[in-house]
Amino acid sequence: MIFIFGAITVLLSLRMPIGTFRMAGAGLFPLCLGILLMVLSSIFLLRFLFKKWQNVKKEESPSEIPGSAMQVLFFMGAMILATLFFKILGYPLVSFLLMVALLRILGMKQWPFNISLSLITAIASYFLFVQWLKIPLPKGWIGL
């Protein structure tokens, strides 16, 4: 499902101006994100299939799939909510909240680590995309 979500993101981002890394258009960030999702989900699938093939070769029962259907649903739900509230809350707050949610969904239970990693990620991505690449992303009610 994540691969399909990445592919749809890539296809929709190609409808927007891409630009270059020096003068990025509105479609560059979603294009890179979609490609990243597709690559990571492919690696995950290949690792899973390789482990399953090894278990069948050894005549053992295949191990359970890491993660669950609920994790996938929560992941997709978090992505949809982030998309819905992107213009209202703004890029910095949505990227922070999305990162916190995704870390929690993936099983990271250490809140200080989740909050600090999410804050660092949000600040770094804000400076990368808004300040350095000058991509006009929604400011939301924070005004950043």
Q: Which residue has the tokens 């090894």?
A: 54
Residue 80's pLDDT is 87
| pLDDT at residue 61 in the model | 45
Q: Cα dihedral sign for 108, 106, 79, 117? A: positive
Dist. CA 113–CA 117, nearest whole Å: 6
Looking up tokens 């990571």, which residue turns up? 40
- Ranges of beta strands (E only) in 12-88 are none
Query: Which of these, 27, 37, 30, 28, lies nearest to 6 by C-alpha position?
Result: 37
Quote the pLDDT of residue 63.
45
CB 63 within 8 A of CB 55: yes
SS3 107: coil
pLDDT for position 116: 93
Can you give the pLDDT at residue 111? 92
Strand, coil or helix: 14? coil
SS3 19: strand
Burial class (CB in 10 A: 0-12, 13-18, 19+), 24: buried
pTM: 0.58
Which tens digits make up the pLDDT trace of 38-76? 888 888 888 888 877 776 655 544 444 455 778 888 888
Stretches where the chain sits below pLDDT 70 are 55-67, 144
Q: Are 91 and 133 in contact (CB under 8 A)?
A: no
